[in-house]
Chains A and B, each alone.
Chain A
């Protein structure tokens, strides 16, 4: 049935007749007006032309000259009309592409039986995948952002799946993957996208997903990390599954070096679904389990909350022990509660006093408790009489303060150092060292459903624009040839 597409194309072109006709109307009107206004006189052409134009090209231009302007305008109208109707249709022009998930979960299992090894075998054995452009969907540790890397050059020198797996392990971070980048390939002109992933929750819309054999989840993950005011220690709770258990605790220096933790540095207590590590002070640590090392951060004591402004002063005073004992006037540290606007600014919490309270505070700020609030988009917490009467109104302040105890990502990224599954960004320029660890779903299925969409093919506006530029360039050239000073020739 090879005729079907052309019939569909013919029907589509018929749909473009309307815009084309509408755009041709002014062209025809201009032609009509020009012909009406144009005078015809009899005069020897050679008296107008000081040179001999007897070449065939000159005759062609003479014939063209009568209507070239209109012809070019009509051609432009047709092209713009077709473009308005969606022609030329978007289509891939770079061929098929294969995207390989290079997240940490691809390395789970024993070497040779990992999803990465299975993917390498699949790519090299499937002729369709082999002939397509291979991309690695990975993560850039230097920029701390996901990326999509073209592996065409790498694949040229690869002869076996083992070589491909090794090459990928050496070039990719195997940290996490952002599947939303896949749709960007479509806009770049690639078609026939195939995603190879071990994540069974990934489905594709316009993308063929080749799911690899799943592995039994085995993990040891920090579930929470906070400073315990009662015990005056930093508590990190771990959960484990699949028989993963801690074998070694390492102290992570700010330069990335590991040293075995001393027994007096920590305490370990078993929990209902894992265990709990507590430390006397904040620091960077790493647990080793099943041959893998996972760095983590034990948060320090959060700074007390400071206040700026009369209303904020009263609020902070009411918060009790977490508030700063303002012994040094004017010296502010930690989270600052302030009056007025500036909602969402890091390190600050803006409050405002309102009279009407038709809304409630966001549940994420109150741990689900219902606290009435007003409406003031300039402030994080628009509080009124009823808000201040609720005891749960203090929860947002506790949350903000607890979060301030953990180290934050440095704005100035230092050169990353690989530490087990994660990366350490050493201290630099007064900024403390920070960690980047893979998300939890790289260790265990999160149950979330990921839909990878192919996106839209790039429309061919550039082609249309180029054709229009060429046509108008031709128009200018002809106009210059026919009308320019010293070139008034027939």
Chain B
């Protein structure tokens, strides 16, 4: 299973017809590799003589030993065309529409890979996964690898999005990051990467879809295993709706962030468009 929505191919085709080069980042849009942004990848860009503003640590000492002149190596920026996916795989996500979430992530990865970008995917619960999956646009197995990771998600453990995000900040060098979660934690504060973008995709199942008015429900927390009895009335529903609204507003208010809520069955194609527009804005 590839977890790619059928309309994604059309979206990718339609989006590629647009003057993407004019709207791509300079590093990607530049036809001459000389104008691509320098960075820390292993793709060598150039070797030039050491200047006073260069970091002395970048001096190629072997070359210095042979030529008695100081040269520095420049590499392409590896993060410019790579996007980080942080996928919440904690137990609470099992309550969200998991298949729809997998399809959305898979479709988005497909679109990005089709449009020439790379995707580096981590899963997280109370911490970031040790290993990540890197899918490149040119590599043929990128989409398959992402599908394999998505199908292997077991949704277990306790969520700690803030800790996982901090771990990613220390490891990853991507400028743009997608966080896929139900965001059930209180007072979650995430900061957008410097000169990048933070995309928060919230998947949830509304409690109103599970509870009947006037009923009394035993609610089992999938992460803590505790049970509470929740009587559900119109007043409770109003309170819940107000809480949800406050939570969404809090997440949407993060600077330089993109936030969307996706319930089960809600259309995904407009969200793809919005994301792509935002990426290429």
Contact = CB atoms under 8 A, between A and B. Distances in A.
Contact of A44 (B222, B232, B239, B242): B222
B226 A45 contact: yes
Contacts of B216: 34, 37-38
Residue from A37, A47, A485 whose CB has the most chain B CB atoms within 10 Å: A47
A65 interface: yes
A65 B222 CA distance: 19
Interface of B: 92, 94-95, 182, 184-186, 204-205, 207, 210-211, 215-224, 226-233, 235-236, 238-240, 242-244, 246-247
Residue from B94, B216, B246 whose CB has the most chain A CB atoms within 10 Å: B216
A488 B240 CA distance: 8
A41 B217 CA distance: 7
Residue from A40, A45, A52 whose CB has the most chain B CB atoms within 10 Å: A45
A40 B223 CA distance: 15
Nearest to A484: B235
A39 B218 contact: yes
> Closest 8 A-B residue pairs measured CB to CB?
A485-B235, A50-B243, A488-B236, A490-B228, A44-B184, A40-B218, A44-B92, A45-B221
B226 A62 contact: yes
A42 B95 contact: yes
13 contacts: A39-B218, A42-B220, A43-B220, A43-B221, A46-B184, A47-B184, A48-B230, A50-B186, A62-B228, A483-B231, A485-B239, A488-B233, A490-B230
Nearest to B206: A47
A45 B231 contact: no
B216 to A, nearest CB: 6
A345 interface: no
Contacts of B227: 40, 66
A329 interface: no
A377 interface: no
Given A47-B204, A488-B230, A39 B215 contact: yes
A29 B247 CA distance: 41
Contact of B219 (A50, A485, A487, A490): A490
B264 to A, nearest CB: 14
A46 B216 CA distance: 18
A48 B244 CA distance: 9
A138 B95 CA distance: 82
A488 B235 CA distance: 8
B233 A45 contact: no
Contacts of B235: 484-486, 488
A454 B112 CA distance: 97
A97 B150 CA distance: 87
A146 B12 CA distance: 106
B94 A38 contact: no
Contacts of B240: 48, 488
Contacts of B242: 50
B20 to A, nearest CB: 39
A34 to B, nearest CB: 7
A488 B219 CA distance: 13
A484 to B, nearest CB: 8
Residue from A34, A38, A488 whose CB has the most chain B CB atoms within 10 Å: A488
B229 to A, nearest CB: 5
A273 B216 CA distance: 92
A41 B229 contact: no
Nearest to A61: B228
A34 B238 CA distance: 25
Contact of B94 (A34, A42, A48, A62): A42
B222 A42 contact: yes
A43 B207 contact: yes
Contact of B186 (A34, A40, A51, A483): A51
Contacts of A42: 94-95, 219-222
B191 to A, nearest CB: 21
Nearest to A35: B218
A482 interface: yes
Nearest to A66: B229
A45 B242 CA distance: 16
Contacts of A49: 243
A179 B243 CA distance: 72
A52 B186 contact: yes
A108 B184 CA distance: 93
Interface in A356-397: none
A40 B220 contact: yes
A422 to B, nearest CB: 74
A46 B244 CA distance: 11
B243 A44 contact: no
Residue from A34, A51, A483 whose CB has the most chain B CB atoms within 10 Å: A483
Nearest to A40: B218
